[in-house]
Structure 1
Amino acid sequence: MSTDTYTALVNQPLGKKIAAALGLPQPVELRRHTPGQPLLDGLALVLGSGPAAQQVADQLLDWGVDVRRHAGAKDRFAAVVACFDAVQTPADLSDTALEVGQVMRQLGSSARVITVSADPSDATDPAARSARKGVEGLTRSLAHEMRRGGTANGLVLAGGTEMSAPGAVGALRFLLSARSAFVSGQFLTVGTSEGALPQDWDRPLAGKVAVVTGAARGIGEAIARTLHRDGATVVGVDVPAAGEQLAAVVNSIHGTSLQLDITAPDAGARILEHCRTRHGRMDLVVHNAGITRDKMLANMDAARWDSVIAVNIESQLAMNQAFLADQARDVVGDHLRIVSLASTSGIAGNRGQTNYAASKAGVIGMASASAELLAERGGTINAVAPGFIETEMTGKMPFLTREVARRMNSLSQGGRPVDVAEAISFLGSDAAGGTNGTVLRVCGQGIMGA
């Protein structure tokens, strides 16, 4: 992983003074998750007049958080949850929005602001839909205004889902926690009362068997290690050429490994058979394996195009078909969760990546179209779209290109592989059972695909 020396420098006293004097970005070291840490390092303020506000306050109290419903002049807040679930017209946004504004200077480092609102698409009245949609613009803009590593995200309640539903509670905790360090300006929609909360929030995947493709290095390795930390038994999958490194990763987390080419016609069947004979079940599949073969479209050949499409999306479609077949039920059961790696390139496009962007946009389409099928089986499928993440690959980029890419998000720094892994672990857990068919960006509110 490449080292961000600039961020380290501006977090030293002299570097901080120089950056401030020159008006340069001042990214801070983000608060990231470690097992056993408190959910928040300080007070939480809950605002709003609808039923969600009291439900949020009660839940936070149950988690041992010190909650305020009104801000004192000297209070310092680690989080603000602003509930807009009762708004019926755009004018209704004013009171709660301005209350949030009044406490912005009272937020600590790596603070969280969460908005809670009803799904705009559920409203047929133009005024109500415009008010709900207004919360989206408010939240995304507020995320750009956060300072010192703070983030702002939204929790959207769809289909009449209550804030007390397991999926809503799980989403709230993820967005408040240090697990969402590099998630900002994004929304999690909870559309059903499905899901279940873990007995131990530090081990939300306890007893689960998780398959991770491309697990030998980089983001895939971080995913495998994070899922293991969260209680899962991990099956690491990668190509035979990466077998030695795959074995080292999997052995260190007491999992099992499977060497195969995911584009092979029998890849899904082989994964199922491995899980059947070695573990007796398969609860979570993480489609992480992917490749790039970048060229301007004018210079693109069929080999580059076809190989990227085959690995990045066609293999996932074929494996999912195998996992959802009737003959797989003895392994998969009724609550399979699938999380696929997309990319901000698949949302906003990227110069020289028409093949890659097409494949990653295809992943998002696959998740959306497959959601109903998974829901019928009691499962879910979602996508995670990373932005600029510090890996060995980014470490080989030209210095200036890398530095610009790092600063082009609201947090003014690159993310880490573990940031992607944290989002995947959440979406693969039962606590995310109410979220299905969506894409969650892990990009620090990057300019591309923001």
Structure 2
Amino acid sequence: MCIMKYDVLIIGGGPAGIVTATTAKKFYPAKSVAIIKKEETSLVPCGIPYIFKTLGSVEADVMPTKPAENLGIEFIIDEVEDVDVKAKVVRTKGGKSISYEKLVFATGSTPVMPRIEGVEKKGVFTVSKNIEELRKLHEAVKKAEKVVIVGGGFIGVEVGEQIAKAGKKFTMVEMMDQLLPAAFDKEFARIAEEELKKLGVEVYLNSTVKRITGNSSVEAVELADGRKIEADVVIMSVGYRPNIELAKKAGLRISIGNRIWTDEYGRTSEKDVFAVGDCSEEKDFFTRETSRVMLASTATFEARIVGANLYSLKVVRVNKGTVGVFSTFVGDVALGAAGLTEEMAKKEGFEVVAGYGESLNRHLASIPGAAKTKVKLIFAKESGVILGGQVTGRYEVGEMVNQIAMAIQNNLTASEIDTLQIGTHPLLTSAPTTPPVILAAEDALRKM
């Protein structure tokens, strides 16, 4: 049997796999790099909710491979069924044997289908990353009159918002007492809830699903308290499970959080084998406990570290922990969050102070596009070090939350943020007298 040979072989063609490959090729241009993936066409994960309205089709969300191919990276369309880490050989369902110097697991995650009576009925879906599965969901939603989404996290909220904008009657069921509980405190979560309600969405909080009713097809969702919500499509959005079966079979160490164990450079328990993205272990930036964050932005940050450190350690490129940086757009409002919420920080034992800042995103209310921006920053009371932040406003929110994430990663204090030197412009930013991030730091300082 002929054995194919590559210096760097990556299993998985999502954001983590692509960025690992491109980073490796840039740092080690003489090395041959290949990505092996099951589907020829991959999707941009963050764009999936927008196939229902903004993008209009599944095909509009296809992830391009041309930039990677232009760097000399090869794509192998096949499925890996066995990895021999001692012989450094990967075997595929298509009968290929591929040897490697360095192997990277970027196998991603799969949506969870909860164990609820009736989930096998026609019309019950998860939000898959597989293009064929998404085509089926997209077509079903187009034909549907009443859609129920179970789960009020980011995917559920974003998919729901798009379905509501497409004119469908849509109901959201969330077991917690707020939407987006992993990223926002209640006061910011309520903003997202109100935006959904403006679109005609019914929101059921503190509610759990008992069963899906109907004959062969779904007809309703029955809640634990006996209420029934009519539906012809039900979307389960209750989280994702890391794809670690192949790694387990290969003998890699699995972490307590049921992901592939890695160190700060993405190295696994086996020599010359790395893991990155949703399938690999995440450590919280503050507590060093296992983090459940699964984001493309986190995956690509890790991928740059792994790709650069495959053959020699670049000491400045090390994973110090997952901050968790989120942003979304619901209705007419953008929301962003980074680090710990106030509630999470208190649960972890931090004594905290929260500061608030609010101003227009332009110098004058008469400037087109002017809108209110609100910032909340959370600081450790004694040291003044920033622990987290949340923002709501318009299009500036995405980069403002990145600014907060940078402050967190550099352990800035309220005093240092209060004295940041910034640039402003009437058409682009808040007035220099009222930058909301600095106002929030100033407010916290007064409370310390």
Larger relative strand fraction? 2
Larger Rg: 2
Larger relative helix fraction? 1
